[in-house]
Structure 1
Amino acid sequence: MTRSHPVRVRPRTDGDPVPDVMGMRLAHRAMLRDANRLPDLAERLAAGTCDARRADAVARYVRDFADSVHHHHSVEDEVLWPVLAASAGPHVDLTELSDDHAALDPALARLRTTADAFRARPGEDTATALAVELAELRDTLTEHIGDEEASVFPVIERHVSVADWAAVEARIRKRAKLSFEAPRVLAVASDAERAAIEADGGLALRVLLAVLVPPFRRRERAVFGA
């Protein structure tokens, strides 16, 4: 739910630079990549065998994915939506998107519970249940993200100042689990997008990615296979 306390912004005016929404677009792309590949993984596990070690790796990844989705929509509600409302006023209606966010929380709670059941007793039944929960989340996220990008991105670019957008992104990054988010975003970035990310982050970001990416890639192999 959008918070009601006032937010001080300087709305963008004609001629001002346009905010770059690449970071949010990449976050969505990374989310949808996992939303699509995790149900397929669970279906394969239901049709085969899965030892306790892999079941633990899969369940932990699913839990981190659920937490990532929760983080994303929570910071939109608490950080981005108030800035949009203050910047765009009557030009934006966030009611349906906020309602979608509210419906996500119980779905994510069910997914975590199902992942824990699969970890405790890996087998066809628990893997199938996990596949069902993941498929439902995939369908929900695909529709929601499509609606959000179509309705919110133009509002950001038209009404939010570069300074206010930078402040939003900084607050989002501060609350993110970078060891999970950064490698996933990098994996879905084009060469041009990756170059822009590294140019903006400089040496510190390149060092951080060099530390975070290799262990995450090993984690992916443990979850999804070689």
Structure 2
Amino acid sequence: MTTVTPRTEGDPRPDTIGMRLAHRVMLRDARRLTALAERLAATATTADAARGAAIAGYVADYCDSIHHHHSAEDDVLWPVLAASAGPHVDLTELSDDHAALDPLLSRVRAAAAAFAARPASEDAATALAVELADLRDTLVEHITDEEAAVLPAIEEYVSVQDWNRVEGTIRKRAKLSFEAPRVVDETTPEEYRALAAEGGLVLRLMLALLVPPFRRRQRRVFEG
């Protein structure tokens, strides 16, 4: 049984911007990776070996990121939310979605590896595009449902203390060299100022080290 600190009326609400940004970044990559694979499938030359490897590596890290996100929700967030909200939230369908994601992620990884092995093959690019489109559509539906059901419940029933503990635990499990620069690229200036103020000097130094090489990586993947 998960022990929580009940949130009472008048207590401050948790700030769920971190979760919203994670979802926004996830959907952005789902859409642009699908579009990239579709463009490659439509060209006669597709990609060379170096770019094929770069694309496959990015897709693999992206799949790992999605797995980390939904497994962290299952292991860390769901128990706290269930204990805090009780009958006011039903996580069954969302948990079922998470279980269905893993075999889909395996198919995407396999298609990316096959593309890396044959980057000049239109068939390999098409197969990757098909799997990524399936993942994109699945994530759009799942995240829409999750934000409609979960975010209001977190803000209504979870205490700031418990939410901070959840976010801290999830952050420790993340691959920050991949996650942090993606979030930075998707934040508005106002959101970035809030994150930088919260993270302090340590966060700003970390981003100064991680963002430039990540942006070079993105250019290799998405611009060739």
TM range, normalised to the smaller chain? Answer: over 0.9
In 2: Cα distance, 1:67 partner to 1:182 partner: 14
Task: Give SS of 2:47's match.
Answer: coil
Match of 2:95 among 98, 101, 117: 98
Match of 1:158 among 142, 156, 159: 156
Paired residue type of 2:111: T
Q: Following superposition of structure 1 onto structure 2, how do residues 1-226 of structure 1 map, counting pairs within 5 Å?
A: 6-48=1-43, 49-122=46-119, 123-225=121-223
Q: Kindly, what percent of the aligned residue pairs are identical?
A: 70
Q: 1:3 maps to what in 2?
A: none
In 2: Cα distance, 1:221 partner to 1:124 partner: 22
CA deviation after TM superposition for structure 1 residue 121, in Å: 1.0
In 2: Cα distance, 1:52 partner to 1:15 partner: 58
Where does structure 1 differ by over 3 angstroms across 4 or more consecutive aligned residues?
Answer: none
In 2: Cα distance, 1:92 partner to 1:44 partner: 41
CA deviation after TM superposition for structure 1 residue 172, in Å: 0.6
In 2: Cα distance, 1:146 partner to 1:221 partner: 29
CA deviation after TM superposition for structure 1 residue 215, in Å: 0.3
In 2: Cα distance, 1:47 partner to 1:154 partner: 42
In 1: Cα distance, 2:32 partner to 2:154 partner: 30
1:143-200 deviation digits (Å, cap 9, x = unpaired): 1000000000110000000000000000110000000000111111111100000000
1:22-47 deviation digits (Å, cap 9, x = unpaired): 00000000000000000110011112
TM-score for both structures, normalised by structure 1 = 0.97
Does the 8 A contact of 1:11 with 1:88 survive in 2? Answer: no
In 2: Cα distance, 1:185 partner to 1:27 partner: 7
1:109-146 deviation digits (Å, cap 9, x = unpaired): 11111110000111100000000000000000001000
Does the 8 A contact of 1:43 with 1:131 survive in 2? Answer: yes
Task: Give SS of 1:13's match.
Answer: coil
Aligned residue pairs, count: 221
Does the 8 A contact of 1:47 with 1:124 survive in 2? Answer: yes
In 2: Cα distance, 1:91 partner to 1:24 partner: 20
TM-align CA RMSD: 0.7
Q: Which runs of 5+ in 2 are unaligned?
A: none
TM-score for both structures, normalised by structure 2 = 0.98
